[in-house]
Structure formats: structure tokens, C-alpha cells
């Protein structure tokens, strides 16, 4: 069947980025945490309440000092015969190749990655009785010759659908290292479907594999393959990704707490169907403001977004002690900045130097959190921040809402899905009632037995007691200028996690805001950092992580230049990313381009 062109316009983005997220926790079905099983089936998801925008109470109970296990340092081994892994057997698994990859074939930041074995295969191949398409969980594992004893599950972005190179993300943009180069054995998968288009959602099982069951099926196989390759299984197992990969990670934290020891959560779309729906509401409002019909970008132009960005800086830049083009104290900024008061109101035509009264009303309401038709908030607020003026911010708001979120909502999350014949993504986004969308993404049927809020979201995300008690650790980060998944939403989750742990969850989970960063990378920000190394040291040595040093990616950066970095910044500016609720504040003296002159307070 011919695929509507609008759904392939940015298909490559689907494998690199996420398509929707989360915000005031709408409770689905009650659930229990579970470790992996061959079928991957667990109870459906549930959640606590949310007062969107990160204003949740952290409680007043004095935290109880707990001694949690330190899991010990992994020990490595040397790879045996790579070619022999072609004969590896495991239930419902077919290995298609096992190839030796020479050192330097892959690189990271210009550095050669060591020799390793690439194993490709698939699990649970089948033909759907619903859409007659073939499905399988495709994967590749890369196993270093010199292994460090650790396993990394690479959770990919978008709606999956392709097997990304299994290198293992460490966080942020323009990475200077990766898990494979560090000596981890790394797995990557397509999450159970072989195309980055949303039509796999017509098959009920493909929905479930994408949501959570592929992880359950792949995990025991991957550990068995590692044991076959090295003569021992992994001593420590880690899980991480950004965007939809962050969602996968949070789902694994809740559903499979016994199977992984460390979780690296980046800009998570942990309630992805709701964030996508909120982005559709945004597109409808921007389109109502548009000067060119059906072009939402003309409802909030580049000049107008720069106007707002500059107004935010004028009110908030110095709140952390340094006027440096970054807003470190995001919370104080939301109290200090007022869109209606601090941005001029147009007295005549819009010309980029003002906002109309209608713009202020609609844009202000969107930043406060998307509303359903009855005026009830169903997704979190977004903080006003400096990164609103970037092309990355605009792309998610004005293009992805039309071409990505439309298909994901219509075919993966709605019950029933839309008719594929003649489907037009932009038309769906701009004309469909939000109440209709919300009703369908929460619905079930005899064919689609789990709603999207069940199979896509982490069950009871504030209850990580099993993970905590066994000594596992969580490090989560989120850009404050993320336009698709709100950092307020992740902050609110963390506040609920704090409240569930006597007001302090920092002995097993920490959250780091990345000022100015758009979705997973980019924006006027210091977005180059490694959170995997400190996560390993926390899990295996008990070394806590109060701050992670992040760098700007200016001219000449080995990991790739971020064109959003202002020319006035040092090309190698550094800042500490502080564990919430602390904020990076300038010490009052010293070079303001260097992290050493900031403290987390």
C-alpha cells in the first residue's frame, strides 16, 4: 500500500529523535514492577498525580539515612572466536551474521574505536494476522575484543524502526566517547518493526513490542550471547537513551528493575502520547495565529521568538550571578518573567518588535500547559527559556507536529487507528479535535487490549523501591529549552520521587537540568557531557555525583560544532550541571567561561 508522502518527509528524524512525551501523570491501569520474562508481559501502567510544571511538593518529612548496596566493580574478559557466535542459539532467535570489525572502522570524535565483533539477528519473527505484514525484533550487538565486563542496552529514539549502530550514548550532543569505545558490550534494536513509519501500530503486538516488550525479550538473549562470547555474563548492566530512548529507560526502571544496575535517562518522553497530543494542540494554536494559512511557523516567527528569548534573558540572565547568556535558575526565572508584561504588545501590525494580544494569550497558555476542549490541563507546562529562538525549537513545534506526531497519534496510539488510505498528517493535526484524540489514546478494544498510556508509560514511575534497594542508580537529565518533552514534566516526576522517599531521592537517583538545551542537544547551551562514566562510578564504587561538567561546542569542537552557540561565548565554555534542586551560581570572581568559577548551591 502506498505510504502518504507527508509521513516520510522527516522519516530520518524518527530514528534520531522522539515524537511525543509526558506531563501531568494521567493514571492508567495499576501495575506491578517485574523483571524480564520471555514474553515480556507485565501488569499495565499506573502513576501518581501531577501539578504540572514542576511545582510538586517534596514533603516535609526528615529523610531517613539509608545505607544502600554498592554493587562492586565489573571485571573484564577477552573475546573468544567472533565467527563462532554465528552458531549461537537462543529461543525464538535467529543469528544472521557474526563479523569481526577492525579497530578504527568506527570512530568517535575522531578517535578509533577498538576491534570488536558485530552480531546481527532477530527475535520472534512472525506474520501479523491483522495487517499481513512481517515483523521481528531486529538487533545488533557489538562485543569488544577487550571487554570491560559491562553490558549496555542502547535505547533508541523516535518510533524506532531501524537498528541504529550499537555504540551506546553517554549524554548530550557531540559526544567525545561512547560505551563501545569504553569497552561495553552494546545492543541496539528496532523495537520490533522494520520501518520508521507509524503503520506498524495497526498490529497490536507491534505496539506492545515498541512500548516495552522488546526490551523484555532482548535482555536475557543479550546476556546469554555475552556469556557465550566471553565465557561469563556481564557483571554490571546499564540502560540508556534520550528522547524516546529516555522513555524506554524509564519504562525499564519500572518494569525491569532487577535486570539493570544503572539507568541513564535523557530528555525522556515518558508519557509520549500526551506530549504528542500537546504538540498538536500547539500547532492548532500557532496556526490560528498564522499569517500564512496552514503554516504554523508564521504564527510565532523567528523575529518574534528572538524577541521573547531576549526578554527572558533581560529578566533572568543575572539571577545566577553572571550575565552570560544562560539562565541557570530556571525556577526563579519563571517567577521573574511575565510574557504579558515583559514583551511589548503590538499597537498595529506585527513586525517582529512586539506580540499581538492574541499571540500573548495563546502562547502564554501553551507554555502554561496544553488544555483539552473543556479547559483541563493534560500535559505539563514548559519553562520560558533562551532556546525558544532556535531552528531546533521551531522544527519540533511547527514541522514535527504536522508530520511526525500526527502519524504516531493516529496509528500507534489511537484505538482504533485511523484508515491508512488517504491519510494526511498535516490535515489530521490541524483539524482533529483534541478531545477525540485524548479519548482514543486512552481507549482499548478486544483487539487492542492495552491503551497507549499503558504500553508506552512507566508503571508507577515514582515507585522505584526495588531498583533502589538492590543498589541500582539513576541519572536523568533534561534540557530546559526542550520544545517537545517538557523539562518541567521530568522535574515534577523527580519531585514525586523525592516525596516517595522521605523528601530525598539523591542516594539512588539524581536529576540534572541542562540550561538552554533543546531536545537532547543543541540550543544556546553547554550540551557536551559524559554521564555514563559517573553513573558507573556511582553504581560500582559508591561515588556520588553532585555535578557533571558540560562544555559548549564552539568552533573546532572534536564532537561537532553546535551552531546555536553564541559568538560571544568562549568556544570551549564549561558549566557544572547541578543535581536538582541545586543551581549553578557564579562565585563572583574568576573567568565566567569556566565551570570552576561556579558553585552548585
pLDDT for residue 3? 40
**Alpha helices (H) in 416-574, listed in sequence order:** 425-431, 434-441, 452-455, 465-469, 487-499, 532-541
- How many CB atoms are closer than 10 A to CB 351? 10
The pLDDT confidence band at residue 355, using thresholds 50, 70 and 90, is very high
Within a domain: 456? yes
265 vs 250: CA distance, rounded Å? 7
Grid coordinates standing for 114? 577498538
Q: How does pLDDT run across 44-70, given as a tens digit for each residue?
A: 333 333 333 333 334 455 555 688 999
Within a domain: 586? no
519 vs 513: CA distance, rounded Å? 12
pLDDT for residue 65? 63
Question: Which residue's C-alpha cell is 522527516?
Answer: 10
Q: How does pLDDT run across 518-533, given as a tens digit for each residue?
A: 999 999 999 999 999 9
282 vs 406: CA distance, rounded Å? 12
pLDDT higher than 70, residue 28: no
| Domains identified in the chain, total number | 1
pLDDT for residue 272? 98
pLDDT higher than 50, residue 18: no
Q: How does pLDDT run across 449-488, given as a tens digit for each residue?
A: 999 999 999 999 999 999 999 999 999 999 999 999 999 9
pLDDT higher than 70, residue 19: no
Within a domain: 271? yes
- Give the mean pLDDT of the chain: 91
Within a domain: 415? yes
pLDDT for residue 62? 56
- pTM, two decimals, is 0.90
pLDDT higher than 70, residue 31: no
pLDDT for residue 48? 33
Please compute the mean of the pLDDT values over residues 543-571 and round it to a whole number: 97
Length of the chain in residues, anyone?
601
pLDDT for residue 66? 81
Q: How does pLDDT run across 175-229, given as a tens digit for each residue?
A: 999 999 999 999 999 999 999 999 999 999 999 999 999 999 999 999 999 999 9
Within a domain: 266? yes
Q: How does pLDDT run across 246-295, given as a tens digit for each residue?
A: 999 999 999 999 999 999 999 999 999 999 999 999 999 999 999 999 99
Within a domain: 91? yes
Q: How does pLDDT run across 151-178, given as a tens digit for each residue?
A: 999 999 999 999 999 999 999 999 999 9
Residues labelled as active-site residues:
243, 482, 519
pLDDT for residue 16? 38
Alpha carbon 145 to its chain centroid, in Å, reads 31
pLDDT for residue 293? 95
Please compute the mean of the pLDDT values over residues 579-590 and round it to a whole number: 98
pLDDT higher than 50, residue 234: yes
389 vs 569: CA distance, rounded Å? 17
**Domain assignment of residue 107, given as a range:** 1-296+373-505+531-540
- Partners of 151 in the beta sheet? 185, 237
Within a domain: 19? yes
Within a domain: 570? no
How would DSSP label each residue in 541-560?
Answer: H----SEEEEE---TT-TT-
Amino acid at each position: 500500500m502506498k505510504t502518504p508522502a507527508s509521513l516520510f518527509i522527516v522519516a530520518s528524524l524518527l530514528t534520531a529523535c522522539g515524537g511525543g512525551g509526558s506531563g501531568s501523570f494521567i493514571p492508567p491501569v495499576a501495575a506491578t514492577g517485574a523483571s524480564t520474562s520471555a514474553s515480556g508481559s507485565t501488569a499495565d501502567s499506573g502513576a501518581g498525580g501531577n501539578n504540572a510544571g514542576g511545582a510538586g511538593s517534596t514533603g516535609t518529612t526528615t529523610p531517613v539515612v539509608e545505607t544502600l548496596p554498592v554493587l562492586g566493580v565489573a571485571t573484564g574478559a577477552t573475546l573468544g572466536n567472533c565467527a563462532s557466535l554465528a552458531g549461537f542459539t537462543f529461543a525464538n532467535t535467529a543469528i544472521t551474521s557474526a563479523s569481526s570489525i577492525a579497530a578504527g572502522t568506527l570512530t568517535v570524535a575522531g578517535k578509533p574505536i577498538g576491534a570488536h565483533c558485530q552480531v546481527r539477528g532477530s527475535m520472534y519473527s512472525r506474520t501479523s494476522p491483522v495487517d499481513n505484514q512481517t515483523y521481528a525484533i531486529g538487533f545488533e550487538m557489538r562485543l569488544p575484543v577487550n571487554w570491560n565486563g559491562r553490558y549496555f542496552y542502547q535505547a533508541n529514539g523516535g518510533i524506532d524502526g531501524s537498528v541504529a549502530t550499537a555504540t551506546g550514548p553517554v549524554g548530550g550532543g557531540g559526544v567525545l566517547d561512547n560505551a563501545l569505545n569504553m569497552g561495553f558490550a552494546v545492543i541496539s534494536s528496532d523495537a520490533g518493526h522494520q520501518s520508521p513509519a507509524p503503520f506498524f501500530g495497526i498490529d497490536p503486538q507491534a505496539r506492545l513490542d515498541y512500548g516495552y516488550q522488546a526490551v523484555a525479550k532482548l535482555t536475557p538473549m543479550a546476556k546469554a550471547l555475552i556469556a557465550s562470547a566471553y565465557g561469563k555474563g556481564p557483571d554490571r548492566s546499564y540502560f540508556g537513551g534520550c528522547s524516546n530512548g529516555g522513555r524506554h529507560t524509564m519504562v525499564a526502571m519500572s518494569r525491569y528493575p532487577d535486570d539493570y544496575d544503572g539507568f541513564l535517562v535523557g530528555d525522556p518522553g515518558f508519557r509520549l502520547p500526551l506530549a504528542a497530543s500537546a504538540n498538536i494542540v500547539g500547532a492548532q494554536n500557532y496556526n490560528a495565529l498564522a499569517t500564512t494559512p496552514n503554516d504554523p511557523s508564521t504564527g510565532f516567527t523567528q523575529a518574534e521568538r528572538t524577541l521573547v528569548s531576549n526578554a527572558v534573558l533581560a529578566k533572568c540572565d543575572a539571577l545566577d550571578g553572571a550575565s552570560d547568556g544562560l539562565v541557570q535558575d530556571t525556577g526563579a526565572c519563571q517567577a521573574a518573567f511575565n510574557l504579558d508584561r515583559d514583551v511589548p504588545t503590538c499597537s498595529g501590525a506585527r513586525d517582529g518588535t512586539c506580540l499581538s494580544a492574541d499571540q500573548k494569550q495563546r502562547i502564554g497558555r501553551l507554555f502554561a500547559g496544553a488544555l483539552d476542549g473543556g479547559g483541563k490541563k493534560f500535559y505539563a507546562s514548559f519553562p520560558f527559556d533562551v532556546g525558544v529562538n532556535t531552528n531546533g525549537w521551531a522544527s519540533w513545534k511547527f514541522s514535527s507536529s504536522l508530520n511526525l506526531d500526527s502519524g504516531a497519534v493516529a496509528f500507534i496510539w489511537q484505538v482504533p487507528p485511523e484508515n491508512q488510505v488517504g491519510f494526511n498528517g498535516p490535515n489530521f493535526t490541524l483539524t482533529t479535535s483534541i478531545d477525540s484524540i485524548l479519548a482514543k489514546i486512552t481507549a482499548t478494544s478486544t483487539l487492542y487490549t492495552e491503551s497507549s498510556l499503558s504500553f508506552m508509560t512507566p508503571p508507577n514511575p515514582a515507585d522505584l523501591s526495588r531498583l533502589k534497594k538492590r543498589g541500582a542508580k539513576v541519572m536523568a537529565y533534561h534540557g530546559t529549552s526542550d520544545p517537545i518533552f517538557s523539562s518541567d514534566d521530568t522535574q515534577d516526576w523527580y519531585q514525586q520521587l523525592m516525596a516517595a522517599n522521605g523528601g530525598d531521592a539523591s542516594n539512588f537517583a539524581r536529576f540534572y537540568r541542562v540550561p538552554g538545551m533543546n531536545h537532547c542537544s543543541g540550543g544556546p547551551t553547554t550540551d557536551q557531557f559524559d554521564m555514563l562514566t559517573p553513573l558507573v562510578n556511582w553504581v560500582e564504587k559508591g561515588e556520588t555525583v553532585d555535578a557533571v561538567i558540560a562544555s559548549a561546542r564552539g568552533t573546532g569542537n572534536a564532537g561537532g560544532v553546535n551552531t546555536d552557540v553564541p559568538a560571544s561565548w568562549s568556544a570551549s565554555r564549561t558549566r557544572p550541571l547541578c543535581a536538582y534542586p541545586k543551581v549553578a551560581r557564579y562565585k563572583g570572581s574568576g573567568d565566567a567561561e569556566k565551570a570552576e568559577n561556579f558553585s552548585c548551591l
